[in-house]
Structure 1
Amino acid sequence: MRLTHIQKQVICESAVKYFGADAHVWLFGSRVDDESKGGDIDLYIESQSQDAAGLITAKLQFLRECHKKIGEQKIDVVLRRAGQSLDLPIYRIARQTGVLLQ
């Protein structure tokens, strides 16, 4: 996994702050591969919140805080709210190939 300890800590702490202590965060994509170089930080977050508008706000605040603390780095967030019946392929791929951070 190609995240520094600080990056992982910032991501996890920010996820708790904006999505709640029961949120789960996976790192997926090229950053999971230790042999790769570069690449953006791809995160898949499952939140227990049902409030779609609140989750959008939380996502923006989460990204702002991450950029502020770890620098202007491309971070992509795939967000899934609890109880969502739609099961997109990206959700399965992120969970199957990703690394659970929290």
Structure 2
Amino acid sequence: MRLSQLDQETIHATVAELFGADAVVHVFGSRVNDSARGGDIDLLVQSPEPVPDRRRKALQLVARLQLRLGDQPIDVLVLDPETARTPFHEEALRSGVRL
């Protein structure tokens, strides 16, 4: 995975801060491919509880991570019990790495 241990810990802590300690975060996409270069940070946040205003929470996570990790492209998907799973969610879960 092309994220430092410190970056991984920062992502995990920030997700817990915004979504709660029970939330799980997966990194997927190009950052899990050690031979790839560049690319944004793709995250899937899974919450066992419904997340009110998922879109706003995802944007808050992006903003906080950009402040903490540096200004870089970050994409966030939020999956909670009220989200209809799509093939994109399934692929992110299948190919992603849990932090």
TM-score by length of 1: 0.89
Gaps of 5+ in 1: none
Matched, 1:88 2:86: yes
**Structure 1 residues 44 and 85, CA gap change in structure 2 (3 angstroms):** closer
Gaps of 5+ in 2: none
Tell me how far apart the structure 1 counterparts of residues 92 and 55 of structure 2 sit (CA, whole Å). Answer: 20
User: What stretches of structure 1 move > 6 A for 4+ residues in a row?
Assistant: none
**Structure 1 residues 63 and 85, CA gap change in structure 2 (3 angstroms):** closer
Partner of 1:78: 77
AA matched with 1:93: E
Tell me how far apart the structure 2 counterparts of residues 66 and 59 of structure 1 sit (CA, whole Å). Answer: 11
Tell me how far apart the structure 2 counterparts of residues 14 and 51 of structure 1 sit (CA, whole Å). Answer: 16
How well do the aligned residues superpose, as a CA RMSD in angstroms?
A: 1.4
Q: CA deviation at 1:85?
A: 5.9
